[in-house]
């Protein structure tokens, strides 16, 4: 299986601090790849580079075999969904308005949109009567489900999630983790998820990519990272979170 997204030697510098340094990364089709690492390690920056919110200083990002270029970036955006920590829902639109925003912009047929919406509602277990509520009238967990529906509306090949569960309380978080895992499996979704929680990474990820100071330090399954750490940093990171890890 070829990679859907391929990063080759990608670097990005803010001021004089390197946020991402010569990163090579493959996001495999149908799998969930998890980026993990301490705050400021560059994992969110990688996501923002892939969706084109940032441009790389050097290196190359390929999407489905084509190199990303600023003038073609909207094509990638229509084939990718993006979910951020607080949901990024527009407060002046209802849940439905947020979910359908992009489909309406692209003038998708009404019946097609309606069908897709009820599919997604079932998938995310979101009650129909809440669709006409505004984001401020929804709970944090409900907002993230809406945000997920918005990202999935156009059946994207790639789903990018930047700490999507970071702001939720533990019970809601656990429920959503479970639902996410099911959704990814049902849709055979290619997903790239950023988290700083090792348990979440282990639970959701087929592949775990550990980053530190803008570089990828080790890549593999949780057991690879635990049993064959390539550096002291890897062992320290694993040990620091062991007490929390539900293994």
Partner 1 sequence: MRRIRKTGKQETFIRIVLFICVPAFLIFFSGSLRAAPVFIGSKKFTESYVLGEIAKRSLIDAGISVEHRQGMGGTIILWEALRSGQIDVYPEYTGTITQEILKRTDQLNFEQIASELGKVGIGVTEPLGFNNTYALVMSRSRAEKLGLRTVSDLRNHPELKFGLTHEFLDRQDGWRPLAQDYQLNPRSVIGIDHALGYAALTNGSIDVKDAYSTDAKISENDLVVLEDDHHFFPQYKAVLLFRYALPAPTITVLRKLEGTIDEAKMVRLNAEAERTKNYTRAAGLYFEPATTSTRLRQGYGAASNATSTTWTAGENFSHKLARWTLRHLELAGSSLLLSVLVGIPLGIWASRGGATGHVILGFAGVVQTIPSLALLALLVPLPFFGISVRTAIAALFLYGLLPIVRNTATGLQDIPRALRESAVALGLSSTARLWQIHLPMASRSILGGIKTSAVINVGTATLAALIGAGGLGEPILSGLNLNDHATILQGAIPAAVLALLVQSLFDLLDRVLIPKGLRL
Which parts of this chain interact with partner 1 (CB under 8 A)?
Answer: 48, 51-53, 74, 77-78, 82, 84-86, 88-94, 96, 100-102, 104-105, 110, 134-137, 150
Nearest approach in angstroms of CB 115 to partner 1 is 14
DSSP string computed for 154-179: T--SEEEEESTTTTS-HHHHHHHHHH
**CB-wise, 22 or 102, nearer to partner 1?**
102
- Angstrom CA distances, 97 to 141, 153, 155, stand at 18, 12, 17
* 231/215 Cα distance (integer angstroms): 13
Shortest spacing between CB 53 and partner 1, in angstroms: 5
To partner 1, the closest distance from the beta carbon of 223 in angstroms equals 34
Structure tokens at 125: 């277990």
CA dihedral 124, 191, 20, 236 (to 10 degrees): 80
Quote the DSSP letter at residue 71.
G
Please identify, using beta-carbon distances, which residue of 56 and 229 lies nearer to partner 1.
56
Q: Which residues contact 49 (CB under 8 A, 6 or more apart)?
A: 7, 10, 12, 20, 55, 56, 61
Nearer to partner 1, 57 or 86 (CB): 86
- The 3-state DSSP composition of the chain as helix, strand, coil percent (nearest 5) reads 40, 25, 30
CB of 244 to partner 1, least distance (A): 27
Closer Cβ to partner 1, 92 or 186, answer by number: 92
Q: How far is the CB of 150 from partner 1 (least distance, A)?
A: 8
Closest CB to partner 1 among residues 24, 74: 74
């Amino acid at each position: 299986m070829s990679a859907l997204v391929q990063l080759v030697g990608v670097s990005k510098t803010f001021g004089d601090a390197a946020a991402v340094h010569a990163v090579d990364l493959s996001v495999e089709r149908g799998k969930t790849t998890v980026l993990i690492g301490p705050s400021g390690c560059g994992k969110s920056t990688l996501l923002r580079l892939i969706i084109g919110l940032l441009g790389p200083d050097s290196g190359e990002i390929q999407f489905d075999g084509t190199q990303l270029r600023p003038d073609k970036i909207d094509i990638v955006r229509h084939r990718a969904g993006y979910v951020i920590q607080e949901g990024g829902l527009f407060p002046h639109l209802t849940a439905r308005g947020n979910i359908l925003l992009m489909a309406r912009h692209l003038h998708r047929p009404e019946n097609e949109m309606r069908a897709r919406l009820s599919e997604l509602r079932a998938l995310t277990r979101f009650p129909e009567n809440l669709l006409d509520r505004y984001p401020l009238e929804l709970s944090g967990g409900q907002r993230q489900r809406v945000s997920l529906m918005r990202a999935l509306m156009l059946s994207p090949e790639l789903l990018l999630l930047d700490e999507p569960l970071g702001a939720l309380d533990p019970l809601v978080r656990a429920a959503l983790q479970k639902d996410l895992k099911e959704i990814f499996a049902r849709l055979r979704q290619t997903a790239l998820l950023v988290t700083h929680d090792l348990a979440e990474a282990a639970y959701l990820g087929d592949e775990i990519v550990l980053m530190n100071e803008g570089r990828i330090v080790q890549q593999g399954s949780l057991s690879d990272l635990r049993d064959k750490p390539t550096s002291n940093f890897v062992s320290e990171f694993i040990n620091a979170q062991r007490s929390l890890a539900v293994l």
